[in-house]
Structure 1
Amino acid sequence: MNSRGGPDAYEDSDLDFDDAERELLHPRVENLDIEENAPASTPRFLEGTSRSCYGRVISWVTGPQPSRVQKIKPVFPGFQEAPIDLIEQWCPTYKLKAVLFVVVSIAWLLGFIVLLLNNRLPGKVEGYGDVVSLECTDTIWKRSNHCGLDGIDCRPFNDTGLAFRCPAHCASVKVLNPHAVGVQEINYRPFVIGGPIYRGDSVICGSAIHAGIINDADGGCGIVTKIGQQRDFPSTERNGISSVEFDSYFPLSFTFEKIEGCRAKDRRWPSLVLSLTFTILISLFTTSAPLFFTSAFIGVCSQVGLVSDPPSISQLSELISTFAARLLPAAFCALVFYQFYARRSLQDLTAQYEKTVLYLGGCWFGALSNYTFSWLPIQRLTPHDIQQEPGAKLALAIIVLLVIFIATQQIIYLRLEGRLPQYLLLYGIFAFSIFVLASLPALHLRIHHYVIALLLIPGTSMQTRPSLLYQGLLLGLFINGIARWGFASVLQTDAALREDAQFGSLLPLITQPIISLGDNMSSISFEWTYPPIQDSEDQKWGIDSISILVNDVERYRRYRDQLLPVAHLFTWEREERDKEYFRFGYMHGGKSLDYTKAGIWDKDGAWIGFEEGASR
């Protein structure tokens, strides 16, 4: 028995095997004496408590010695390496391989250009001129008071038409902030009002899908014609879009007609098939990590930035210019990705089919996130959207749990490779930077697609099957974010983050209206009072005028210095007994702030007052 305490003592001994054997055969007498006088042995659950907790943590974080670098052993290696053997038979020399790569690349590029020109160049329609390329959010009438007093900036209201073409998948484009239509608040649904006669502020492409003029899968072209003021826009559900009802009149409305022989269809799907084929061929038939990574990046980026999810730009020349401006810095980021992270994942990888499915497939899945993740009830990762959108909180919680599971998995692999300490330091720097940015006053931290990729790609730098999938997916998200939105700032002001949402501004206080009913003419009069100049809320918003909407059209605008009295009066007259909706809002510098919710002057002349709260 060893005097230093139990069988573990020999693990720390420097004795060789012969010395240890002699020690066992000829135990020292003093050892026995000490053992007899020693206290009872330490219970097993307390063994090792003499070693510091700090030392144990450092030992665990450092990982096993020697480290175990992860390498993928192909499943069915003969099958997975068959494309490599085939290319070696066809093109045994480096020069022949280079020629074949150039030929395949040129074929993809020429086909891509032809489809892009066919997708974007407008045609002509007799009597209407050039076909105008629209985006999914384009409208004839601008919302709120942006068409000016009585809609003067959106005239003419009738007897004009426009030949247009729409891209595919406009049916899924929704308003992301509440918009008032009479007393209704429209949010997270397509802004289509009525049908087959549509209110003038309806989105054109969504309305054309609802009317059956174009289809959502391919887009298409048609003619939109203004027909002036109409009444009663019913709610109908057609072609996957449920329109909004409006039970009063509006000064501008429109209808559609088809263009016979229209060939201006969205070519994103043929283009996607072409780009997929190109990247799959490169992935299967090359073991060169830089060649595969570069080809995949350029092919996916071109497809997303010019065809599948381009920015909202109608002109082809402007679109190409924007894409080129974003491609160069994105390519630099991709070079950094490859040099420090992707090379370790892809170097000497001969599992050709696994690489294609996991890495390239993940990349395409992330890059086409406007389709692949469209089912998620999270449009934007902002507190406002998380609070408002149905199901967003549950979806976010599930995503967070999934990220924690993946992070735990990656930590285990990094520890086995002996690289966990440096990555803990890196992510500590990331966390500190995020904390500093989030603490800056008057600015909000916005985590975009590309930022998520920048933060998480380093943690995938190893050659395991899960890491191939995660890294490809994150690379795709990076491409989608840059191609669609560019390097958007991670720090945004209140105005930039709000977009077209409510300001939270001061609302006018409107007295009970005075109603006068007549056989031929009726009137309703409203009175309000501006807040005092020295009022803190007034000074905060710089209130200088008031705007009044009737049926969502601005009918009255007065500036503070136009009338001397403190109290002001607005009178509205009508001949016909139509239901009408009134909203009041202050303005600053010619721009409207928040409006009140709608009050209703009913057909029978009764007044239904304003509900509490603001509207836009």
Structure 2
Amino acid sequence: MSLDQDGSSRNNPVYPHVSSSSPLKDLESGVSGREDGFVDLSRRSSESLHSAPSDSLELLDYGSPDAGLLGQTGPSTSSRRKGCWGSCAAWLSGPQPPRQYRIEPFFPRFQTAPLRLVDRFLPTRSSRVWALVAFHALWALIFLSILHRSVTGPDIPGYGSPVRLSCGAQLWSNSTNCGLNGDECRPFDDASFAFRCPAGCRQTILLEPYTVGDQDYNYRPLVIGGAADAEGDGIYRGDSFLCAAALHAGAINDQTGGCGILRRTGEQSNYASVEKNGISSIPFPSNFPLSLTFERGPIAACRDPRWLLFAISVFFTAVLSLATTSPAVFYSSVFFITYFQVALASDPPFSPDYNEVVSIGLGRFLPAAFVGFAIYYFCVRRTLTGLTAQWEKTVLWLGGCWVGALNTDTFDRIPISRLTPHDIQQQPGAVPALIIIVAILVVALLSQAWALCIEGRLPQYLLLYGVMACAGPAHPSLHPGAALSAGDGAADAAQSAVPGIASGAVHQRHRTLGVRQHPADASRAARGSPAGQSTTQHRRASHQRKQQHHFFLPMLPDDVAGISVLVNDVERFRAYRENESESDAATPFHWTRLRANETEFFRFGYFKTRDLGGIWYEDFTKAGTWLADGSWVHMAPGASR
């Protein structure tokens, strides 16, 4: 080896790529080598020997021939426990140093082509700002023009502007809201009006058991009757979902919605079940005071614009996604467009006055914007920073965001209404759907955990999820999208759809529901379903004839204000407690059959008074059946609504 005058080597024959002007360093410890250019291994070995932990010494002693003489029997329990916890902590901390996930785009030149076009035609910052403003203004102009034309719509000759209906709109809401004999839901006949239904009403189904006669129905459209009368028009019971009945009758189209003319036809009997246009109706073999039918003939063109507006919004957001790499510009623009697409077109709150819909949407914008900023700052920003895979971002992230934002047309089609044991057991297809959803969530969460572990950020996210888990019992309405989006900071190509879906789902929740001030508990989740056995199990018939039926109802309990009787799902009798002495006497109820030789159904239930006035009804009994031949079929145990 040749040396300079100062004694240092000019070149290193062993490591020729290392500069000889500086001494070699130990690659593990960073300790400088000796002055002669070699690493001082003896000093490192000595230091390592003297600094070895006690556990290592125990292992060395245990493996030595003198272990039996020294009384060693192996590692202590505390040492093994400490080693286990240390291994877990080391695994959770990830590799050292951590690795940063970055999406390496496929065909990078193709994916960055939109960026080169932007650089070519918009070279300055000011030109890009003005182009962005003009871009949003163009979207707003097209969006609002189509929406305004749809809202005003054409008038139907002889009827004027059609009434806007929701998919669950009814003329007769339920058995008790229309009052005695249904007087609060009049008129029953000789009245017509033009209506307008949105698209997709075939998917609107019952979410609670609904009693029709002596049968309970659930998880299906509420369409009762529909068989043609002498004139060929389908006759429906008055408490049917209007838009679903119009679909059943063929008056409107499910894909585009439409307008029609509804005519009340008064009391009818024997609503037969008919399957038409993909909907199977419910039979009812008795009479009801309110019926309806739909006029036939050409109706003015009337289409739901939601899918046209959706296509326009998707096009604008896709162009923006391809043309920008700024996370702030991309996320804020997508949030703004998706918010108003959902709030005003895809899933607006129902109101006959569209000005009220706009007012509600604007009122919920600021709370939703705050939530959107929090998601961007803590979750999305890291994922989008430095991302140049423009097509992958557009397809995976933006596509996932739209899937989550259109929750009513995507995830709501999954046959799970609520995650309660009762609903999962009762709803057809809920158990397989739940298994698939849980499997997908487990895969997504494990993928997120692995990515965060590689980046060395898993411990703090586990702490965050621990806080969420502790807050879960106190706040059961915590949205699953919020839990998923918390761990979406890893820029992994395989997970790009997860943060988009989670962000879109959380945004959609705040667009449609606003900020919920109180968490929903199990009783609120019941939505009025029967909660066990009815308190009116002691009703009995004391005397009957073929066309008359006499009931003597036993004394009222002390905690109720009166008793109500439903006949054919219409409230026909209501008795109040006037004073304590009268509560000991049996309450008589005499009923004459409305139509001879026709089956009728009777249900009984208590009601109570509110502190501020008015009454509310408890559960009713199951229906007792008075057959056409005069015989009586006693009600089954249980409750109904």
What range is the shorter-chain TM-score in? Answer: 0.7 to 0.9
Alignment counterpart, residue 561 of structure 1, candidates 578, 582, 585: 578
Q: What's 1:108 paired with?
A: 139
1:226 aligns with 2:264: yes
Instruction: Say if 1:223 and 1:259, in contact at 8 Å, map to a contact too.
Output: no
Q: What's 1:312 paired with?
A: 350
For residues 30-69 of structure 1, the aligned pairs below 5 Å read 37-39=65-67, 52-69=83-100
Q: What's 2:424 paired with?
A: 386
* In 1, Cα distance between equivalents of 2:87 and 2:337: 48
Instruction: Say if 2:155 and 2:300, in contact at 8 Å, map to a contact too.
Output: no
> Helix, strand or coil: the match of 2:399?
helix
Q: What's 1:582 paired with?
A: 602
What is the letter of the counterpart of residue 576 of structure 1? Answer: A
TM-aligned CA distance change 1:530 to 1:23, over 3 Å = closer
Q: What's 2:526 paired with?
A: 498
Q: What's 1:161 paired with?
A: 192
Of 13-22 and 185-194, deviating more is 13-22
Of 420-429 and 395-404, deviating more is 395-404
Q: How far apart are 1:42 and its partner, in Å?
A: 11
* In 2, Cα distance between equivalents of 1:404 and 1:614: 39
Instruction: Say if 2:188 and 2:290, in contact at 8 Å, map to a contact too.
Output: yes
1:198 aligns with 2:264: no
If the length of structure 2 is used for normalisation, what is the TM-score? 0.85
Q: How far apart are 1:313 and its partner, in Å?
A: 2.3
What is the letter of the counterpart of residue 249 of structure 2? Answer: A
Q: What's 1:321 paired with?
A: 359
* In 1, Cα distance between equivalents of 2:340 and 2:62: 79
Q: How far apart are 1:64 and its partner, in Å?
A: 1.3
Q: How far apart are 1:599 and its partner, in Å?
A: 1.0
Instruction: Say if 2:171 and 2:239, in contact at 8 Å, map to a contact too.
Output: yes
What is the letter of the counterpart of residue 108 of structure 1? Answer: W
Q: What's 1:409 paired with?
A: 447
Q: What's 1:359 paired with?
A: 397
Q: What's 1:530 paired with?
A: 555
Alignment counterpart, residue 377 of structure 2, candidates 317, 339, 347: 339
* In 2, Cα distance between equivalents of 1:276 and 1:36: 72
Q: How far apart are 1:498 and its partner, in Å?
A: 2.7
> Helix, strand or coil: the match of 2:87?
helix
Question: Which residues of structure 1 form unaligned runs of 5+?
Answer: 1-9, 25-32, 439-444, 534-538
For residues 1-80 of structure 1, the aligned pairs below 5 Å read 19-20=40-41, 37-39=65-67, 52-80=83-111
> Helix, strand or coil: the match of 1:506?
coil
For residues 203-282 of structure 1, the aligned pairs below 5 Å read 203-258=241-296, 260-282=298-320
TM-aligned CA distance change 1:19 to 1:568, over 3 Å = same
Question: Which residues of structure 2 form unaligned runs of 5+?
Answer: 1-26, 46-60, 227-233, 610-614
When Rg is computed on C-alpha atoms for both structures, the one with the higher figure is 2
Sequence identity of aligned pairs in percent? Answer: 41
Of 135-144 and 503-512, deviating more is 503-512
> 1:100-142: CA deviations, max 9, x gaps?
2222211110111012112322543333233111111111112
Q: How far apart are 1:315 and its partner, in Å?
A: 1.6
Q: What's 1:549 paired with?
A: 566
* In 2, Cα distance between equivalents of 1:13 and 1:350: 37
* In 2, Cα distance between equivalents of 1:469 and 1:475: 10
> 1:145-202: CA deviations, max 9, x gaps?
1111111111121000111101111111011000100011110000000111000111
Q: What's 2:590 paired with?
A: 571
What is the letter of the counterpart of residue 128 of structure 1? Answer: Y
Alignment counterpart, residue 146 of structure 1, candidates 173, 177, 180: 177
* In 1, Cα distance between equivalents of 2:420 and 2:589: 39
* In 2, Cα distance between equivalents of 1:241 and 1:191: 10
Q: How far apart are 1:23 and its partner, in Å?
A: 11
If the length of structure 1 is used for normalisation, what is the TM-score? 0.88
TM-aligned CA distance change 1:513 to 1:126, over 3 Å = farther
* In 1, Cα distance between equivalents of 2:40 and 2:309: 76
1:468 aligns with 2:496: yes
Instruction: Say if 2:597 and 2:629, in contact at 8 Å, map to a contact too.
Output: yes
> 1:66-113: CA deviations, max 9, x gaps?
110111111100110011111111222222222222222111101110
Q: How far apart are 1:382 and its partner, in Å?
A: 3.4
Q: What's 1:509 paired with?
A: 538
TM-aligned CA distance change 1:169 to 1:23, over 3 Å = closer
Q: What's 1:458 paired with?
A: 486
What is the letter of the counterpart of residue 455 of structure 1? Answer: A
Aligned length: 576
* In 2, Cα distance between equivalents of 1:379 and 1:484: 17
Instruction: Say if 1:118 and 1:267, in contact at 8 Å, map to a contact too.
Output: no
Of 304-313 and 367-376, deviating more is 367-376
TM-aligned CA distance change 1:580 to 1:13, over 3 Å = same
> 1:391-424: CA deviations, max 9, x gaps?
3233223322322222122111111111112111
TM-aligned CA distance change 1:347 to 1:523, over 3 Å = same
Q: What's 2:636 paired with?
A: 611
